[in-house]
Amino acid sequence: MSGYRLTSDTGATPVSFKFNGKTYQGVQGDTLASALLANGVTLVGRSFKYHRPRGIFSAGSEEPNAAVNVVRGDELEPNTLATTLEIYNGLEAKSQNCWPSVDFDVNAINSLLSPIFVAGFYYKTFMGTSNKHWMFFEKHIRKAAGMGEASVTADSSRYEKQNVFCDVLIVGAGPAGISAALTQAATGARVVLADENAQMGGALIGSTQEIAGQDGDGWVREQLEKLKTFDNVKLLPRTTVYGYYDNNTFGAVERVSDHLTTSEAKGKIRQRHLVLKSKKVILATGALERPILFGDNDRPGVMLASAVGKYVKRYGVVPGREIVMFTNNDSIYQEIAELGARNVPIKAVVDLRDTLSDYAAAVKEKYNLRIYHNAAVVRAVGGKALKSVILNNGETLTCDVLGVSGGWTPTIHLQSQQGDKPVYDETICSFLPGMGHQDYVSIGACKGSFDLSACLSEGGLAEVRVEDEPSLNILPVFDIETTKGKKFVDLQHDVKTSDIKLAKQEGFLSVEHLKRYTTLGMANDQGKTANVNALVVMSKERQLPITEVGTTRFRPPYAPVSIGALSGGEYGEHFRPTRRTPMHEWHLDHGAEMINAGAWVRPRVYKKAGETVTDAYIREAAAVRESVGMVDVTSLGKIEVIGPDAPEFLNRVYTNAWLKLPVGKARYGVMLREDGHVFDDGTTWRLEENRFLMTTTTANAANVLTHLEFLLDVIWPELKVKVVSVTEQWAGLAIAGPNSRAVLAKALHDVDMSNEAFPFMAVQDAKLGDIPVKVARLSFSGELAYEVWCPSHYGYAMWDQLYQAGQDFNITPYGTEALGTLRIEKGHISGPELDGRTTVDDLDLGWAWGKKDFVGKPLAGRDGMVDEDRLKLVGLVSKEEKAIRPGSQIVLSNAETTLGVSQGHVTSTTYSPALGKYIALALVKNGRNKIGETVYATYPLKNESQAVEIVKPHFFDPDGSRMHV
Amino acid sequence: MYNEISISPLQGVLNAGHEVSYDAEKSVDLKELAVTSIVQIDCWHGKEADLFAVFKEKLQIEGAMENGSVWKTADFFVMNTSPGSYMAVSYTVGIWDYLKDLISDDIAVMTDLSHSRSVLSVSGAGVLDVLSKGMNIDLDETVFPINHVKQTSIAHMGVTCYRADKDDFKLFVFRGFAQSFYQWLTHSAHDVGYRTS
């Protein structure tokens, strides 16, 4: 093949690009495919399985062959279609699926072995009798097959998402879509017109067909200019609508800067993922030409006839010097007429039909065509380029391009995605959209209206006059009987007609089975040019009409979507939002190593020079026991429970009693789910007669609020109670240790901090300088401790002022690690124990079990919930002075460390500076009756095991004397 | 109001006078609004008309009571954020005591949320473009009129969005998310350009 650019188009802006290391010149507006064709490049890639030479087959997103790797610095973008990739100065692309080069590919030997590489070859040959066989071969098979090379460096491009709402969404900006857009725009509706191509206009781009007294190209440009004058119309070129979802919602990708040079694109969004929502939808997605099957129909130079026409019309590029056309319908004569109008010669037309329509006859006469009637191409001859074709009469025609038209397949992917069952239409030999399930209409070629006048009319421009247009006049011949050469149905996955026959022989009759057995219609082209022909072959094999063979449904995406586009902007620092407490900057300024706790970011430890995390938390926990420490507890969930029925509501929500809690006091509470398992725990403070402040665990804040709202809205709507999240209103810290009272007494005013005036579980208002605070005498650490809360904007100042006040007592800020250490030493439960599977008794909280009714009580009494053998909370002490790994399984003897039956698991672990031992909390089967026993904490994944003694979970100060001083 | 001890979550992050590719024809203006008072008012079921009557009489509020309405007084505005739930906001004065006197416990209960939200003003020619990158809400004026409020989420963060004018939105987000939200906002405004004040 030796393509060339028409001299009339040489005035365009030149563009320099590289392909397989060689520099070429194209012009602005070219795709990589058109530019390569203009440069006479025939060979673009190698096929998936047999590594056969492949060229350019189409001129759009249906391309099965010409997928390339685009190189951007260290980044690679595989499977980019040369037929849609717009060139720019500096573009670098290379062939994929070949080694060492596309010209000499070692794996081309596969083609010689093709008799054994039939459908199902890998499964039959490499599965073996166990997974090990497949796992051994899989990596080699994958390496050999490949579909491009993925980048190993992070994608540096910018992506984003956008929501687009409109009254009418029109997908496809060909003549039907543009007509519809003009019609809808005139009504004042908000119209979005999206098209996957850089240029809107579809088949009319570059067309000389006469419309309303001017050529098609001029007419469509004029209509697009009209559309741009409407404020209510949004045009989205380079936008592929890839998915149709419920409620007229569509996914689309706008290629914003893929066509720009590196410097032009710098800082710009690369691709934008659009979510389109429309009241009405008009699908004008057109149709794709399909090939006719014959021997060696994959040779570079065999192309769709419409692609030949597009390269000439749109890009001024003629794909070859000697062009033969092969058809079973009249549409090819329109392309021939377009070529003829530009003086591009056609060597011959091979027509499967006996006679010509008036339109075809006129074209024949005008361009003096040599037509072979009732003839077929049986084989293409060539290697890396087409040399000739052999006809069924034995004649050989030399040529470098064969344009093939086997008819047109309406593009009904979107209709099919939302549930329409395609319906086969014998007049066009293809499938049409079935009954619609959503509010949309199909117009134009995608509903089988191939006439231009019909497209315009269905779009609402019935008055526009169209001259000289052919009808389809298709002869239903899809597959030419041949004796030589491979007949490829699916070019991208190297699926041959013989593979379909084999699938049928082996019992894979359903089209769904056929697809999966042969991989037909898979990969990034999704069989756009293959599916109908495959069904024809199968129907012939099964001797059934196509309507009875059935068809597969399409799933999103219509065309490949990059992972970057799907992520939108959600990567890096935008991967997920984080919640910072008001004291965040203070923590960072004082050496805190932070850790995520859900969305919150909390200090884990405050490292001093040379300290490890372990060193730091041991120091911090010890400081609390010895003097005083402070920890940020802002992330605790906080919910105001307000209203005259609030006490009754709490009484029903918590397991323990709440009716008599006085104002100014707090109480610990446990709440269950309806199924009787422990849901959450925390303290709730009675601030006023009818106003309570409930705290929840950090992790369950939102879940508890939802639970409470559900109870009030659905179960007890008669209760006069409101619940409001105030988590963000309050900043909080806990100050703990023997000197905590002294620090607060020094810093606070308007409050008496004495034990008598401020007893355990009391809640009082106070002032810290000008900052109003609430102080509650609570202890999670087991020490004399208080929580101090203030309105959030004061949080930093509150923390800093208390820190300064504590300097005389060597106050130590501590993080979540030390917080965990202190509560584990006390046997207090937290997230790891509140795992949704534990009961009140499992966690040794039976003292909180009230006699009154409460949520979860009925189901908490089920047999399985009160079984003695349930996992019970216990403490563990390492007998080997080693850290106990969280998640370790408990087994009874050392011999069982890898295969034993688990008796439970370790939930929380720490080194206890107070005890000088490694300790843990665990849930152990019937654990409370095993106190004093030695068991083994085993962690098979690390091949670790150690002896531990089961003890009561209250390791430190079990009578609580330290917090009641 | 922010001062030496009352500190904005965006202190040191949103710095006034910063510009990125600003073009008045297509960019946005970003500004943090210091709020003096936010009070959530939750109306008891069946008392909605009573509450509105109080608003109408005492605050001389005009306009119909409809979901998502925003009523303005000289010192504050009231947003109907969801059925029976309102958020009163003042940039200048404390309104808790005033509202407490106005609204009896028989009609509604109130919660002080003055420190719970960070409020950002996003305005300018590019505002719809920027917000549509995060909000799954139709921003057309016929759907989202001026002086209305909608609850939504942007980049997984809950947002109360008040449309003060055609191209002027006030966005209320949880204080803890303020920095993440501001990062999202500047990222999304990057290609249209923005400036801060």
DSSP secondary structure string for all residues of A861-873: TSGGGS-TTSEEE
% of chain B surpassing 90 pLDDT:
90
- For A356-451, where are the alpha helices, taking DSSP H only? 358-367, 413-417
Half-sphere exposure (Cβ direction) of A384: Cα atoms closer than 13 Å: 14
Tokens representing A761? 């579980």
Compute the average pLDDT of residues A578-602.
Answer: 97
Q: A819-866: per-residue pLDDT in tens?
A: 999 999 999 999 999 999 999 999 999 999 999 999 999 999 999 999
Q: A445-483: per-residue pLDDT in tens?
A: 999 999 999 999 999 999 999 988 889 999 999 999 988
Token pair 């920890």 is found at A631
Compute the average pLDDT of residues A97-107.
Answer: 87
Question: Measured between alpha carbons, how far is A715 from B162 in angstroms, rounded to an integer?
Answer: 33
Q: Which of A165, A266, A600, A792 to mutate to test the interface with B (most CBs of B within 10 A)?
A: A792
Question: Residue A349: which of A292, A304, A402 has the closest Cα?
Answer: A402
What is the reported pLDDT for A129? 76
CA distance, residue A282 to nearest chain B CA (Å): 20
Provide the ipTM. 0.98
Question: Measured between alpha carbons, how far is A375 from B113 in angstroms, rounded to an integer?
Answer: 83
Tokens representing A391? 């006809």
Higher pLDDT, A142 or B185: B185
Q: Which of B32, B174, B194 to mutate to test the interface with A (most CBs of A within 10 A)?
A: B174
- On whether any CB of chain B is under 8 Å from the CB of A578, the answer is yes
> Measured between beta carbons, which residues in chain A are less than 8 angstroms from residue B26?
none
> Measured between beta carbons, which residues in chain B are less than 8 angstroms from residue A599?
176-177
What is the reported pLDDT for A571? 83
CA distance, residue B183 to nearest chain A CA (Å): 8
CA distance, residue B32 to nearest chain A CA (Å): 14
Compute the average pLDDT of residues A43-52.
Answer: 92
- In this predicted structure, the answer to whether residue A8 has a pLDDT above a threshold of 80 is no
Strand ranges (E), A28-157: 45-46, 53-54, 67-72, 75-81, 91-95
Q: Cis (ω within 30 of 0) for the bond into A100?
A: yes
| A637-725 under CATH 3.30.70.1400, yes or no | yes
Compute the average pLDDT of residues A194-220.
Answer: 96
A123: confidence class by pLDDT, cuts 50, 70, 90: confident
Q: A377-392: per-residue pLDDT in tens?
A: 999 999 999 999 999 9
Question: Measured between alpha carbons, how far is B180 from A343 in angstroms, rounded to an integer?
Answer: 62
Determine the topology of domain B19-34+116-196 in CATH. Answer: Gyrase A; domain 2 (3.30.1360)
Architecture of the domain delimited by B37-112: 2-Layer Sandwich (3.30)
- On whether any CB of chain B is under 8 Å from the CB of A868, the answer is no
- On whether any CB of chain A is under 8 Å from the CB of B140, the answer is yes
Q: Do B155 and A579 touch (CB under 8 A)?
A: no
Domain boundaries, chain A: 161-288+411-458, 579-635+729-822, 637-725, 868-964
A896: confidence class by pLDDT, cuts 50, 70, 90: low
What is the reported pLDDT for A3? 85
Burial class of residue B178 in the structure, from the number of CB atoms within 10 Å of its CB (0-12 exposed, 13-18 middle, 19+ buried):
buried
Instruction: Give Cα separations from A373 to A348, A354, A369, A377, A392 (angstroms).
Output: 11, 5, 12, 11, 11
Least CB-CB distance to B109: which of A158, A642, A770?
A642
- In this predicted structure, the answer to whether residue A9 has a pLDDT above a threshold of 60 is no
Which residues of chain A from 790 to 849 reach within 8 Å of chain B, CB to CB? 791-797
Compute the average pLDDT of residues A356-364.
Answer: 96
> Measured between beta carbons, which residues in chain B are less than 8 angstroms from residue A160?
133, 187-188
- On whether any CB of chain B is under 8 Å from the CB of A720, the answer is yes
- Cβ neighbours around B17 below 10 Å, total: 7
% of chain A surpassing 70 pLDDT:
99
What is the reported pLDDT for A149? 81
Torsion, Cα B32 B33 B34 B36, to 10 degrees, reads: -160
Question: Measured between alpha carbons, how far is A299 from A303 in angstroms, rounded to an integer?
Answer: 9
What is the reported pLDDT for A98? 87
* A443 contacts A283 by C-beta, under 8 angstroms: yes
Tokens representing B173? 């987000």
What is the reported pLDDT for B15? 92
* A72 contacts A258 by C-beta, under 8 angstroms: no
- In this predicted structure, the answer to whether residue A1 has a pLDDT above a threshold of 60 is no
What is the reported pLDDT for A192? 98
What is the reported pLDDT for A898? 57
- For A764-830, where are the alpha helices, taking DSSP H only? 795-805, 816-826
Cα radius of gyration (chain B)? 17
Tokens representing A269? 């969004």
Q: A304-359: per-residue pLDDT in tens?
A: 999 999 999 999 999 999 999 999 999 999 999 999 999 999 999 999 999 999 99
Question: Measured between alpha carbons, how far is A452 from A284 in angstroms, rounded to an integer?
Answer: 13
Chain B: residue nearest A583 by CA? Answer: B9
Which residues of chain B from 54 to 93 reach within 8 Å of chain A, CB to CB? none
- On whether any CB of chain B is under 8 Å from the CB of A279, the answer is no
Question: Measured between alpha carbons, how far is A176 from A172 in angstroms, rounded to an integer?
Answer: 8
Residue B194, beta-bridge partner list: B20, B28
A146: confidence class by pLDDT, cuts 50, 70, 90: low
Chain A: residue nearest B140 by CA? Answer: A165
With H, G, I as helix, E, B as strand and everything else as coil, classify residue A714: helix
In the predicted model, what is the mean pLDDT of chain A?
94
% of chain A surpassing 90 pLDDT:
85
With H, G, I as helix, E, B as strand and everything else as coil, classify residue A492: coil
CA distance, residue B1 to nearest chain A CA (Å): 9
Question: Residue A900: which of A937, A948, A949 has the closest Cα?
Answer: A937
Compute the average pLDDT of residues A618-633.
Answer: 98
Question: Measured between alpha carbons, how far is A322 from A389 in angstroms, rounded to an integer?
Answer: 11
Question: Measured between alpha carbons, how far is A414 from A112 in angstroms, rounded to an integer?
Answer: 40
Tokens representing A454? 């019909």
Question: Residue A848: which of A869, A825, A829 has the closest Cα?
Answer: A829
Domain boundaries, chain B: 19-34+116-196, 37-112
> Measured between beta carbons, which residues in chain B are less than 8 angstroms from residue A793?
2, 6-8, 115, 175
Apex CA A487: angle with CA A486 and CA A493, to 5°? 95
What is the reported pLDDT for A125? 81
With H, G, I as helix, E, B as strand and everything else as coil, classify residue A35: helix
What is the reported pLDDT for A2? 78
- Cβ neighbours around A374 below 10 Å, total: 13
What is the reported pLDDT for A145? 65
Least CB-CB distance to A569: which of B105, B176, B187?
B187
- On whether any CB of chain A is under 8 Å from the CB of B33, the answer is no
Instruction: Give Cα separations from A503 to A116, A495, A519, A583, B174 (angstroms).
Output: 14, 11, 11, 67, 59
Question: Measured between alpha carbons, how far is A649 from A646 in angstroms, rounded to an integer?
Answer: 5
* A321 contacts A6 by C-beta, under 8 angstroms: no
Question: Residue A679: which of A839, A828, A823 has the closest Cα?
Answer: A839
- In this predicted structure, the answer to whether residue A506 has a pLDDT above a threshold of 80 is yes
Least CB-CB distance to A580: which of B9, B115, B155?
B9
- On whether any CB of chain B is under 8 Å from the CB of A730, the answer is yes
Mark A279-297 as b/e (b = at least 16 C-beta within 10 Å): ebbbbbbbbbbbbbbbbbb
Rounded to an integer, what is the distance from CA A710 to the centroid of its chain?
32
Question: Measured between alpha carbons, how far is A238 from A196 in angstroms, rounded to an integer?
Answer: 5
What is the reported pLDDT for A840? 97
Compute the average pLDDT of residues A33-48.
Answer: 95
Q: A636-665: per-residue pLDDT in tens?
A: 999 999 999 999 999 999 999 999 999 999
Question: Residue A333: which of A316, A350, A321 has the closest Cα?
Answer: A350
Tokens representing A134? 């497949």
Token pair 């001083």 is found at A965
Question: Measured between alpha carbons, how far is A534 from A548 in angstroms, rounded to an integer?
Answer: 14
Question: Measured between alpha carbons, how far is B108 from B119 in angstroms, rounded to an integer?
Answer: 25
* A777 contacts A567 by C-beta, under 8 angstroms: no
Q: Do A729 and B112 touch (CB under 8 A)?
A: yes
Strand ranges (E), A709-829: 722-725, 730-736, 763-768, 771-776, 785-791, 812-813
> Measured between beta carbons, which residues in chain A are less than 8 angstroms from residue B155?
569-570, 574, 577
Determine the topology of domain A579-635+729-822 in CATH. Answer: Gyrase A; domain 2 (3.30.1360)
**Is the CA virtual torsion A180, A181, A183, A188 positive or negative?**
positive
- On whether any CB of chain B is under 8 Å from the CB of A714, the answer is no
A572: confidence class by pLDDT, cuts 50, 70, 90: confident
Token pair 């809107």 is found at A200
Sequential DSSP letters for A296-319: TTTSTTEEEHHHHHHHHHHH-EE-
What is the reported pLDDT for A147? 76
Tokens representing A942? 């690390």
Compute the average pLDDT of residues A591-598.
Answer: 96
What is the reported pLDDT for A113? 78
Chain B: residue nearest A600 by CA? Answer: B176
Burial class of residue A946 in the structure, from the number of CB atoms within 10 Å of its CB (0-12 exposed, 13-18 middle, 19+ buried):
buried
Question: Measured between alpha carbons, how far is A726 from A173 in angstroms, rounded to an integer?
Answer: 51
Superfamily of domain A161-288+411-458: FAD/NAD(P)-binding domain (3.50.50.60)
What is the reported pLDDT for A503? 94
| A868-964 under CATH 2.40.30.110, yes or no | yes
